[in-house]
Amino acid sequence: MHWVAGKKTGVRTVQELIEKKLPIRVSVSPVGSVDEFSLRKILEIYGVSYRDIRGWGGRVFFAGYSNAASLLKEEDYAYSRGVIPRSVYPDMMDQDVMTPVMGTVIICHKSVPEEVVYAITKALCENKDRLPEIHKSMKVFDPETAWKGSAAPLHPGAERYYKEQGYMK
């Protein structure tokens, strides 16, 4: 998630944005998507809802792709702290910004055969150096820890691969 405020607002943190109750514009994927689910959970941490944003004169737009947020019903949503480096938006940011982050997760139905998921997991792990060619965020992918912190249960095929490699006990 990226939160952007113009320098003229004086806003430097999400907390300040919430406290000032500015008439913000929010664009997020449709209800039921991972992005929308994540935004709702982050807003809940600040005690804010879409209704509150609209009450401040702001607007909430739902547009984008659908995802499988409805499949993730765990209490721990696998968020951690991350940083958006100033270099990502050098004309808009004068320092790095702390932000909630969530790793990339590949989800499949439990009915997918174990051998298929094993083969996919093996291909990803054994070709980790090629993944950033697909998306640069994947340069941090580490097969030794990739199985940790998922909000959904690990598929038996993936679990078997990680155990065979000694990454998982």
Q: Which domains does the chain have, with CATH numbers?
A: 1-77 (no CATH), 103-169 (3.40.190.10)
Cα separation of 10 and 38, whole Å? Answer: 26
Q: How far apart are CA 79 and CA 153, in angstroms?
A: 16
Q: Which amino acid appears at position 133 of this protein?
A: E
Rounded Cα gap, residues 72 and 7, in angstroms: 37
The model's pTM is 0.50
CA distance 3 to 22: 13
| pLDDT tens for each residue of 40-82 | 988 988 899 999 999 999 888 876 544 333 333 354 455 667 7
- pLDDT, tens digit (0-9, with 9 covering 90-100), for 53-63: 999 998 888 76
Q: Which pairing describes strands 25-28 and 79-84: parallel, antiparallel, or unpaired? A: unpaired
